Chains A and B, each alone.
Chain A
């Protein structure tokens, strides 16, 4: 009986989460602006890939996310190592300040950065946009790396030094491999955060530069002349890529689980 209720809760929640996306995906195969079926058509997909405006926006978003995530990962990994080993005031300051962008309202982060960049005449440049994205991503890289540092055997680093490694060598050859899973998940998290950002982009982007978020927000504000059918097609493509991703992970974790079961049985 308990299992049944648990099952019901999960199913209802999954329907809530996925129904809008699936309905959208179905209606991506028809041309109309609102959700009215006007015959099967793959026109939205064709015009999505032939519109230079849309392709430009997608490339912009992807390049920005990769750049911001790469910078955030380097800065955040070094920062996390620093925070972990610095028990003095600097470490405490850094770890406290690092929590601010996580809990602060994004719009406050966004406009405060816009003010600062306007002091140095850099507001609305690619630089201010990139820095803004690093600001919202980097705390999450730190949060992904810190637990791995805690799990690490603290004597490894000292052993490396005793055996003649320089601190730099010990860091790259001993510490980094140990915390690598945290670094990678921090990088992936940073990409999703950057892709999902609206506020920082809206107030710090150059004129005419659009990311997915700002583009879709504008399209929703003026639905009459917007590329809504193409955006439906875009959502469906992202959704399908996502589903394939889940299926691959499902297959792999399933086989891993079976292997571990077989091993247990052998024992």
Chain B
């Protein structure tokens, strides 16, 4: 049976189809991305002795402090996302409309801080807040400031990359046809940049719900978010509780992805094309 096939390619010893090249990557992803997530699901549905149980879910949704942590995280995530959008949109828009070669440099100026380690940046902002006397007084406000400070570039980049590709003559056409500024923004610019807004939301919301490094740094150790709750369970070797919280986060991730219409396919949200 097989020797017929071998006769067809007698001279070339190693021949492959380009599509097969994704095999090593597929195996890597299956082992280190898909399988670990299945493990989380498994642990979330089992008790400590390994039997199937819903006790973890009952714990999560009846423990008032857990619910409070979840709601607080959602509030921080939502406020951070909105503030990043309100700050990031004008910046991205103005940047995308600069005509000279300075545009690249200015964009670079907004992206470059990402090269400084984010915990070091958090330290810088924390010390500044300490200096002006805000630290320790308004834990929630400070945490939001810290989150915005760290995640703003992740909002600016996807917005910029959509706005720069937009056909500028559309705005002029709208103005020629008599639309005012607000009308141009609401009916032309905003709808055309929607994909950028949505991928910006994806990049900011979940990280700001979970990045406890920032809430610990700015919240004086008093503000607990979901990430910290996972860390605490993990530290106490309570893998089932840690997994159930992680599963809740996975569900939120799925909801966000559904809401934003799926992560726009090949949008490199952290890369910059100057």
Listed in ascending order, the chain A residues whose CB lies under 8 Å from chain B are 6, 9-10, 13-14, 16-21, 23-24, 27, 34-35, 75-76, 78-79, 81-83, 85-88, 90-91, 93-94, 97-109, 111-116, 131, 134-135, 138, 140, 142-144, 146-147, 157, 166-168, 171, 185-186, 189, 192-193, 195-196, 198-199, 203, 212-213, 216-217, 220-221, 228, 231-232, 234-235, 238-239, 242, 245-246, 249-250, 253-254, 256-257
Contacts and interface: CB of A to CB of B under 8 A. Distances in A.
Given A14-B109, A78-B25, A246-B108, A108 B249 contact: yes
A20 B32 contact: no
B207 interface: yes
B76 to A, nearest CB: 13
Interface stretch (B62-70, B99-107, B186-194): B99-107
B253 interface: yes
B5 interface: no
A14 B257 CA distance: 31
Contacts of B110: 13-14, 17
Given A87-B19, A94-B29, A115-B36, A27 B127 contact: yes
13 contacts: A19-B128, A21-B113, A23-B124, A75-B28, A86-B21, A94-B26, A108-B246, A108-B250, A114-B234, A116-B32, A116-B36, A213-B117, A242-B115
B10 interface: no
Contact of A107 (B15, B34, B127, B230): B230
B56 interface: no
Query: Interface SS of chain B: helix, strand, loop or mixed?
Result: helix
Name the interface size band of chain B: 35 or more
B209 interface: yes
Contacts of A115: 36, 39-40, 43, 239, 243
Interface of B: 12, 14-26, 28-30, 32-37, 39-40, 43, 87, 90-91, 94-95, 97-98, 100-101, 104-106, 108-110, 112-128, 130-131, 149, 152, 202, 206-207, 209-213, 216-217, 221, 227, 230-231, 234, 239, 242-243, 246, 249-250, 253, 256-257, 263, 266-271, 274
B271 A144 contact: yes
Given A203-B234, A220-B119, A238-B116, A107 B210 contact: yes
Contact of B124 (A102, A114, A213, A235): A235
Contact of B94 (A9, A87, A166, A217): A9
A20 B124 contact: yes
Given A112-B36, A167-B18, A104 B253 contact: yes
